[in-house]
Amino acid sequence: MKKSQQYYILILCFAGMLLASLGFSFRGFFVPTYKLEFGIDNTRMGFIIGIAQLASMAFGYFGGRYCLRIGPKRIIALGFLFNGLSILAVTMAKSWYVLLIAYCGMASSMALLVLGLNTALPAVTLFSQAILMNFTHGVFRFWVHSCSKVFRMVPIEWF
């Protein structure tokens, strides 16, 4: 593989991890807004988040099986597409049932996205693969932590 292609994969992996970390941060940040908007209690919101995590686990399993067949590039593309559609569905949700389906879609798409990125990253041989994989996941963790801290400072009334 050419060096330019490897740099392209590397940039895609870092950008994908950034977007995935933003998605993880947004899901937790908007919980109070969802509770007010849809009039749901903590139990129902916990149910929504729990079902979304189960959907994420299922998509991670089946996505891993299909990643071998169709390749990480298509899995990443599906993850980006599915994530965009899920975010659009969350913004247009009128009931908590639609929110549940959209939340499951967001969690599942992030599972596909991270799975595709983690399988594409070993193709980069510019640096040590172990260091590159750890650095990429460190960037993901840094962004999740940073975004959740920044989003807590934003007044909920702005949304």
- Residue 149's pLDDT band, with cuts at 50, 70 and 90, is low
Reported as a single tens digit per residue, the pLDDT across 37-50 is 889 999 999 999 89
* pLDDT digits 0-9 by tens, 86-138: 888 988 889 989 999 998 998 888 888 888 888 887 777 777 778 888 888 78
For the chain, give every domain's residue range: 8-158
* Alpha helix segments (H runs only) across the chain: 3-29, 31-38, 42-70, 72-91, 96-120, 129-153
Residue 158 pLDDT > 90: no
Annotate 60-81 with DSSP letters as a single string.
HHHHHHHHHHH-HHHHHHHHHH
The pLDDT assigned to 154 comes to 59
> How do residues 8-17 score in pLDDT, each as one tens digit?
878 887 887 7
> Mean pLDDT across the chain, nearest whole number?
82
Q: Which one-letter amino acid corresponds to residue 38?
A: F
Q: Does domain 8-158 have CATH number 1.20.1250.20?
A: yes
pTM metric for this prediction: 0.78
The one-letter amino acid code at 143 reads W
